[in-house]
A and B are shown apart, each in its own frame.
Chain A
Amino acid sequence: DTGVSQNPRHKITKRGQNVTFRCDPISEHNRLYWYRQTLGQGPEFLTYFQNEAQLEKSRLLSDRFSAERPKGSFSTLEIQRTEQGDSAMYLCASSPSTGTGNTIYFGEGSWLTVV
């Protein structure tokens, strides 16, 4: 079990630039999630995929954010025209798709700092 892999682990970008994060879930997991965590807070749900289908998006996910999972394996999260308020840790997670209440495993996260 190689776990959920995310890269880059750290990204510093200037305001207004675009950034993209990649997530590779645990290989047999069909469900993939993106969360955002700011300092001192719990992770907040952003979006969720079942295979390649994006099933739910939080209203936190403004139109500057887009997530894809084109072949049902890895996923990308792109943030366009970054703002300082986007600075956070972006966590990817995955789980198997057997019914409900599945254990969700998190990756190490991608830290974004917008300057």
Chain B
Amino acid sequence: GENVEQHPSTLSVQEGDSAVIKCTYSDSASNYFPWYKQELGKRPQLIIDIRSNVGEKKDQRIAVTLNKTAKHFSLHITETQPEDSAVYFCAASKNEKLTFGTGTRLTIIP
């Protein structure tokens, strides 16, 4: 089955700096790659997603890139703010089934 690896597991950045989280996947048939933000005790919330026919997508301070050949995708958050502190999960989807990475705990240092 699909295997998704995510790095780093923890990340601390100064407020205003950028944060980058990277994921790799194993199944070349995966075609949908969402990113979720999860605050303590709450549900995963979709923040951005990308489909396999697109290489990059941006939404304000958040961007995602996808390299299908290398089977990796990355989340970029610019101008980080304290409210960006949370756990971020990447996921890869094949046949409507999401396989999640192990998460990155992002801490924004004021």
Q: What is A's interface to B at a CB cutoff of 8 Å?
A: 31, 33, 35, 40-45, 48, 56, 91, 95, 100-109
Contacts and interface: CB of A to CB of B under 8 A. Distances in A.
Nearest to A106: B43
Interface of B: 31-32, 34, 36, 42-46, 49, 51-52, 89, 91, 93, 95-103
Nearest to B50: A101
B18 to A, nearest CB: 23
B34 A43 contact: no
B31 A43 contact: no
A100 B34 CA distance: 13
A42 B103 contact: yes
Given A95-B96, A106-B43, A100 B91 contact: no
B34 A40 contact: no
Nearest to B97: A45
B43 A42 contact: no
Contacts of B95: 56, 100
A101 B31 contact: yes
